[in-house]
Amino acid sequence: MNKLGIYIHIPFCESKCIYCDFASFCCAEQEKDKYFQFLRKEIERCDIRGREVDTIYIGGGTPSCVEEGYLEEIIFTLKENYIFSKDMEISIECNPNSIDFEKLKKYNEFGINRISFGVQSLHDNALKTIGRLHTSEMALQAIKMAKKAGFNNINADLLIGLPNSTIGGLCEDAEKLINAGVTHISAYMLQVEEGAKLFSLVKSGKLILPSDDESVSQYDALVSFLEKRGFSRYEISNFALENFECKHNLKYWSGSEYLGFGLSAHSYLGNIRQANSRNFMDYYKGKISKEILTNEDMVEEKIMLGLRCRLGFSLKELSVLGYDITKNQNFQNFVDKGILKVEKGIVRLKPEYYGTSNYIIANLLP
Tell how strand 232-235 and strand 184-189 pair up.
unpaired
In the bound complex, what is the minimum distance in angstroms from residue 284's beta carbon to another protein?
A: 19
In the bound complex, what is the minimum distance in angstroms from residue 93's beta carbon to another protein?
A: 10
In the bound complex, what is the minimum distance in angstroms from residue 153's beta carbon to another protein?
A: 19
Q: What is the dihedral of CA 39, 248, 290, 189, to 10 degrees?
A: 110
Give the separation between CA 225 and CA 231, rounded to whole angstroms: 9
Among residues 65 and 160, whose Cβ is nearest to another protein?
A: 160
In the bound complex, what is the minimum distance in angstroms from residue 144's beta carbon to another protein?
A: 26
User: 88 near 55, Cβ under 8 Å?
Assistant: yes
Among residues 84 and 353, whose Cβ is nearest to another protein?
A: 353
Q: Where are the beta strands (DSSP E) in the chain?
A: 4-10, 52-60, 83-94, 114-120, 154-160, 184-189, 232-235, 238-240, 258-261, 266-269, 272-276, 288-292, 313-314, 340-343, 346-349
Among residues 319 and 363, whose Cβ is nearest to another protein?
A: 363
Give the separation between CA 140 and CA 162, rounded to whole angstroms: 19
DSSP single-letter state for residue 134: -
In the bound complex, what is the minimum distance in angstroms from residue 217's beta carbon to another protein?
A: 8
In the bound complex, what is the minimum distance in angstroms from residue 250's beta carbon to another protein?
A: 11
Interaction site with another protein (CB under 8 A): 7, 9, 22, 59, 186, 188-189, 191, 193, 212-213, 215-216, 236-237, 252-253, 258, 260, 264-268, 273, 275, 291, 297, 300-301, 304-305, 308, 333, 337, 339, 353-363, 365
DSSP single-letter state for residue 120: E
Nearest to 290 by CA among 312, 270, 304: 270
Among residues 109 and 324, whose Cβ is nearest to another protein?
A: 324
Among residues 112 and 236, whose Cβ is nearest to another protein?
A: 236
In the bound complex, what is the minimum distance in angstroms from residue 308's beta carbon to another protein?
A: 8
Among residues 57 and 70, whose Cβ is nearest to another protein?
A: 57
Buried b (16+ CB within 10 A) or exposed e, 88-98: bbbbbbbbbbb
In the bound complex, what is the minimum distance in angstroms from residue 73's beta carbon to another protein?
A: 21
Give the separation between CA 207 and CA 199, rounded to whole angstroms: 9
Among residues 141 and 237, whose Cβ is nearest to another protein?
A: 237
In the bound complex, what is the minimum distance in angstroms from residue 360's beta carbon to another protein?
A: 7
Among residues 213 and 242, whose Cβ is nearest to another protein?
A: 213
Give the separation between CA 39 and CA 47, rounded to whole angstroms: 15
Among residues 90 and 138, whose Cβ is nearest to another protein?
A: 90
Work out the burial of residue 301: count CB atoms within 10 Å of its CB; fewer than 13 is exposed, 13-18 middle, 19 or more buried. middle
CA distances (Å), 263 to each of 8, 27, 33, 65, 150, in order? Answer: 9, 14, 14, 16, 30
Q: At what angle do helices 357-364 and 329-336 cross, to 10 degrees?
A: 140
